[in-house]
Amino acid sequence: MRTFLFRSMIGIFFGAFLAIMMTYAVIWFGDVETLAAEGFIRNSLGSMFCGWFFSVTPLYFEITTLKLWQQTLLHFITVSLLYFIISFGIGWISFQMTTAMISILAFLIIYLLIWIGFYLYFRSESRKLNEELNHIE
């Protein structure tokens, strides 16, 4: 529970930070002089919620009773559903078929690349640990 609360706080704060940085980017690079308060609140709350669930859902990978494919499937389903509900609901992704399909494809590619990166990293770490354990004798 302590880990869940810690990750929740980190995720919410990181989401809020990203929301502010995106707002700054829109103001500085988008040549926008004023922002609508409703849009800012909606987007910043969406970013904070995304930060929360992206930081909390990796806890699936710490459930040792599940196999890796089960952990990955649970994580993928949870993250995908929450992200796309927020994205379509807030308006980050429009309801046009082409835009939606490109967004889903981009999400899948990014998810796959990140998953492969973490898999290779942890496989490398486990090899190093096993080699060190073999040298203890």
Check residue 21 and give its pLDDT: 94
Check residue 35 and give its pLDDT: 82
Check residue 137 and give its pLDDT: 64
Identify the DSSP state of 59. Answer: G
* Residues near 24 by beta carbon (within 8 Å), at least 6 away in sequence: none
* Residues near 53 by beta carbon (within 8 Å), at least 6 away in sequence: 11, 78, 79, 82, 83
94: helix, strand or coil = coil
Q: Where are the chain's structural domains? A: 1-92, 94-137
Q: Which residues of 87-106 are buried (b: 16+ CB within 10 A; e: fewer)?
A: beebebbeeeeeeeeebeee
Question: Element (H or E) spanning 65, and its range?
Answer: none
Tell me if the pTM is above 0.85.
no
What are the CB-based long-range contacts (under 8 Å, 24+) for 106-109? Answer: 107/80, 107/83
- Please list the rounded mean pLDDT of every run of 10 residues in the chain (137 residues): 93 94 88 84 94 94 94 96 95 93 96 94 94 85
Closest CA to 4 of 65, 57, 45, 50: 57
